[in-house]
Amino acid sequence: MSKLLDQASEEMQVGRYGGFNPKPVLGYSRERIKWLWPNLIAQGIFHVFAGDSGIGKTMILCDIAATVSRGGIFPAERHQCQKSKVIYLSGEDSVNHTLGPRLEAAGADMSNVIIWPTSTQSGKLFNLATDLEAVEEYVGDHGDVGLLIIDPVTAFCGGKFDNDSVTSVRHITTKLNDLAEGTGVAVIALSHLTKSDATKMKNRILGSGAWVHGPRIVLGAVLTQDGYRLFGKVKANITDTYGVYPFVLDSRTIPDIEDVKRIEWSDDVWFGNQLSEFEAFDKPAGEGTQLAMDILKDSLKSGKWQTRQFLMQKILGVVDISESTIKRLGKELGVESRRTSELPAQTEWRIPR
């Protein structure tokens, strides 16, 4: 009789609150954030990655995938990352003449990179809104998947998807967040930027702002006015946004194919900088610009070296202008620039006497 009563009670509970089961926070399981790439790519977290056209976004993703697949060492790190399988869902590049060679040139353990089909044998296209359960099933069967890459994310959102709709985008980001948290897999979704360079990168990500608000970390790659290619964080809720990773485009010859494109990371990582400092973003000139010029000139009149970060904070505490405007004003004043040798390295400015 007691078993029947317990069963009836459970059935009644399932029927209440629309089938949802609210619980108190008391007794929750404490979990530390685990990182694939410390402070950049986290396990069990959904990330969005965006960058300027032609900067090498897919090459960066191939390099990240290769490092995870072989348990390699990421730039500026001393320890190997956890060796894991990587699922790569690509909607633009051929495996045979683009993705495969680039992964090989990046040093991937090719047996650990899984290319997810874009369609079923019956021709049904993969849809993030309805088919993520298949990925979750694969992860459950294999257990050693550490990273899922979706390149680009909008190629797999379905025919009725509206990229400018907060509701449509939030539906996808919620599912990707749930997949990452439920499986412990890091998820990176590639997005594109609008052509305008009159605003900050996080406001240029194509479509609804939910692509920025949904993920815990937004990664970015920019090409500076000085020709530097830089990788870093545009936004982060679970860490800070410091750390800029310079890289160059390179190539490597693999069997049967010459000059396969890849990236080469610089040994000099700029820990004291943020990617936002290098965005090509300016506000109209005005009284604020002149005030910033006066503060900068007065701060550097002694001819001594001062950290650029200190100067930025000093000016931005008084004037509402962009950091790129301050850098332009520095050029107009003829400032000299250098990187300090101690870690974390910082950029210093001075006006020669």
Please tell me whether residues 186 and 332 are part of one structural domain: no
Please tell me whether residues 182 and 246 are part of one structural domain: yes
Please tell me whether residues 239 and 299 are part of one structural domain: no
Q: Which of 251-255, 304-308, 309-313 has the highest mean pLDDT?
A: 251-255
In a domain, 20, yes or no: no
- Examine the fold and report which residue of 251, 278, 305 is the final residue of a domain before the chain moves on: 278
Contacts of 129 (CB under 8 A, 6+ apart): 157, 158, 161, 171, 172, 175
pLDDT above 70 as % of the chain? 92
In a domain, 13, yes or no: no
Please tell me whether residues 101 and 179 are part of one structural domain: yes
If you average pLDDT over residues 16-23, what whole number do you get? 82
Please tell me whether residues 160 and 119 are part of one structural domain: yes
State the pTM of this model.
0.75
The length of the chain is 353
Distance between CA atoms of residues 12 and 283, nearest Å = 60
- Examine the fold and report which residue of 278, 295, 316 is the final residue of a domain before the chain moves on: 278
Both tokens of residue 310? 């200190």
In a domain, 24, yes or no: no
CATH classification of the domain holding 304:
1.10.10.10
pLDDT in tens, 132-159: 999 999 999 998 999 999 999 999 998 8
Distance between CA atoms of residues 32 and 98, nearest Å = 37
Mean pLDDT lowest for which of 5-14, 61-70, 243-252, 276-285? Answer: 5-14
Please tell me whether residues 234 and 257 are part of one structural domain: yes
The residue written with tokens 């080469």 in the block is: 264
CATH classification of the domain holding 195:
3.40.50.300
Q: Judge contact between 69 and 86, C-beta under 8 A.
A: yes
Residue-level pLDDT at 98? 93
Please tell me whether residues 233 and 340 are part of one structural domain: no
pLDDT band at 284 (very low <50, low <70, confident <90, very high): very low
pLDDT in tens, 114-135: 999 999 888 899 999 999 999 9
Please tell me whether residues 272 and 323 are part of one structural domain: no
pLDDT in tens, 31-87: 889 999 999 999 999 999 999 888 999 999 999 999 999 999 999 999 999 999 999
Q: Judge contact between 149 and 115, C-beta under 8 A.
A: no
In a domain, 258, yes or no: yes
Structural domain total, the chain = 2
CA distances from 110 to 43, 101, 106, 113, 278 (A): 21, 10, 10, 5, 35
What rounded mean pLDDT belongs to the chain? 88
Distance between CA atoms of residues 72 and 64, nearest Å = 9
Is residue 343 over pLDDT 80?
Answer: no
β-sheet bridge partners, residue 244: 232, 270
Alpha helices in 38-165 (DSSP H): 57-70, 100-105, 132-142
Residue-level pLDDT at 128? 95
In a domain, 28, yes or no: no
In a domain, 274, yes or no: yes
Q: First-to-last CA distance in the chain?
A: 94
Q: Which domain holds residue 311?
A: 287-350
What order do you get walking across the sheet with 306-307 strand by strand? 306-307, 347-350, 336-339
β-sheet bridge partners, residue 151: 90
Both tokens of residue 258? 């010459």
3-state secondary structure of 141: helix
Please tell me whether residues 274 and 292 are part of one structural domain: no
In a domain, 6, yes or no: no
Name which residue leads in pLDDT, 5 or 174.
174
